[in-house]
Each structure stands twice: as structure tokens, then as C-alpha cells.
Structure 1
Amino acid sequence: MARVFVYGTLKKGQPNYKHMINTAKGLAKFQGRGHTVEKYPLVIAGKYNIPYMLNIPGTGHHIAGEIYSVDEQMLQFLDEFEGCPDMYQRTLMRIQVVEWEGKGGAGEARAAADGVLECFVYSTATFPPEWVGLPYYDSYDSSGKHGLSYVLRESRE
């Protein structure tokens, strides 16, 4: 099992969460919530209002999200879904655990130094330079007050 940190449309209550609970795509078990140890810019960009974590450590906010344990099949699905390695790149990042529900309770999270776990995160190092000038968010919600609702793939032209 691999650990994945999701911060955008794959979180509970967001437009693509359905993929995380579709066992035909593999297994994803919710473990808890956390935020990035480093600060990153989280922007909403493009005509489909897609959330992107720009891989510019030290800029932006500590990004909030959810931690999942996923099997190899789900990890493969997520790579494909996230357009990895072209649109997003999957890299290991340090995530500060805020709330833990995983088996073994908080013990596993505590076992990591100061409750910090390494998780795979989909971020991008390849983006138009003007994205750096967009507003930065610390948490993503498709129906947030930013008014930039995510456009589902099946609704795109």
C-alpha cells in the first residue's frame, strides 16, 4: 500500500471523490487529515477551474488535504487520472498529520517524527508563468466563495 495526500477534487465532498470509493479502480482507505509541512501555492486555473499545487516550495500556504492508503491498482488509476507525468507529477512530500483515523490509531502517525508522514502528492512543476500570479488557497472547495466551480470531465467540450 502507498500513502497518497489529496488536496483537490478527490477529497470527500468534492466532485471526483466518487473515484476514491470506486473499488473497480482499486482500493483507497481514508486514513486522516493533514497539511503540507512546506508552503506551496494552490491555485485554481484553466477554463475548467482545476486546482493545481504548484511545486514551488516555500511559497503560498500549508495546503490542507486528506491522507489515503491506496493499493497498486488505485495508484495506477490516480496516475492516469492526474495525467502523470505530463499534467501532474507524483512526488513524495512531507505531510503534517492533524487528525488520524487509520488502523493502529494515532500510533502510526505518532511513530513518524512529530506526526509527519511522507505521502505521494500530485503537484505540477510545468505550468504557465502567469499562474504564479493567481490567488493562493490553503484549502480547496469546488463550491468555495472563489466562485470557480470545477468542470467535470464529462461536462467539458
Structure 2
Amino acid sequence: MTCVFVYGTLKTGQPNYYRMLDATNGTAKFLARARTVDKYPLVIATKNNVPFLLNVPGEGHRVQGEIYEVDDKMLKFLDWFESCPKMYQRTPVKLEVNEWVGRDENTPKVGSLVEAFVYSTTTYQPEWLRNPTYESYDSYGDHGLKYTDDDSISDPHQSC
């Protein structure tokens, strides 16, 4: 089992959350709400309004998201879904626990530091660094940049 931190469309209540629940993709168990220890620019870009965590530590915000424990099948699906390693890279990230679900003797306390994998990108349009950055992504937020799943757009790295 592998821990993965999701911050965008795969979070609870977001457009691709159903993929985390689809048993044909594998198993994903929600563990915690957390935020990155380091700041990162979380931007919304492309014609599809995709959230991207740019791998530029020290800039942006401490990004909030969710930690899931996933099996190998789900990890393989997520790598495919996130176009890893072409579009996103799966890299370890340090996280501060905001809320842990379930209780046992090994449960991390609020404020504890844990590590999980995150899908971030080093491949992006330079102008993305000038986009507004967000602490927490919500496709339905007041930014007005609702995510769209338009398969006719072949390269998500093309600028808007």
C-alpha cells in the first residue's frame, strides 16, 4: 500500500473524486486531511481549468488536500490518469496532518508530519507562475474556473 496526497479534482466533492471510489481502478482508503509543510504554487491552467501543483517549493501556499492509502492497482491507475511521468511526476512530499480518520495506537496526531506521494509538475508554461495561486482547490469556487473534462483537447500543456 502507498500513501498519495490529492489536492485537486480527485478530492472529495470534486469532479474526478468518483475515480477514487471505482473498485475497477483499485482500492483507495481515505486516511486524513493535511497540508504541505512547504509552500507550492497551486494554479489553475489550460483550456480545461486543470489544477496543477507546480514543483517550485517555497512559492505559493501550504496546499491543503487529502491523504489516501492506495493499492498497486489504484497507483497504476493514478499514474495513467495523471499522465505520469509525461505531465505530472509522482514525488514524495512532507505533510502536516489536520485531521486523521480512524483511531488506533499508530494514529498520527493533529500537527504530526507524515510523507506521501503527490502528483506535481516541473513541465509547465512559464506564464503559469504569474497565475493566481490557491491554498485549496475547488472546481466550483468563486474563481469561476470550473474544471472541464474535454477529451478533444489533446495537450493539456498548451496555454489557454
TM-score tier (shorter):
over 0.9
Which structure has more helix as a fraction of its residues? 1
What secondary structure, in the 3-state scheme, does the structure 1 residue paired with 2:75 have?
A: helix
**What is the alpha-carbon distance in structure 1 between the residues aligned to residue 73 and residue 84 of structure 2?**
15
Q: CA RMSD in A?
A: 1.6
2: CA distance, partners of 1:34 / 1:62: 10
**TM-score (normalizing by structure 2):** 0.91
Q: TM-score under structure 1 normalisation?
A: 0.93
Aligned residues: 153
Equivalent residue number for residue 57 of structure 1 = 57
Instruction: List 4+ stretches of structure 1 deviating above 6 A.
Output: none
Q: Flag structure 1 segments of 5+ consecutive residues without an equivalent.
A: none
Partner Cα separation in structure 2 for residue 80 and residue 103 of structure 1: 32
**How do 1:35-50 residues align onto structure 2 when only pairs under 5 Å count?**
35-50=35-50
Alpha-carbon distance in structure 2 between the residues aligned to 1:153 and 1:95: 32
CA distance in 2, matches of 1:123, 1:142: 18
Gaps of 5+ in 2: 154-160
Q: Distance in 2 between matches of 1:76 and 1:102?
A: 26
Distance in 2 (CA, whole Å) between partners of 1:72 and 1:129 is 34
Aligned partners of 1:142 and 1:131: how far apart in 2?
18
Asked if 1:84 corresponds to 2:81, the answer is: no
SS at match of 2:133: coil
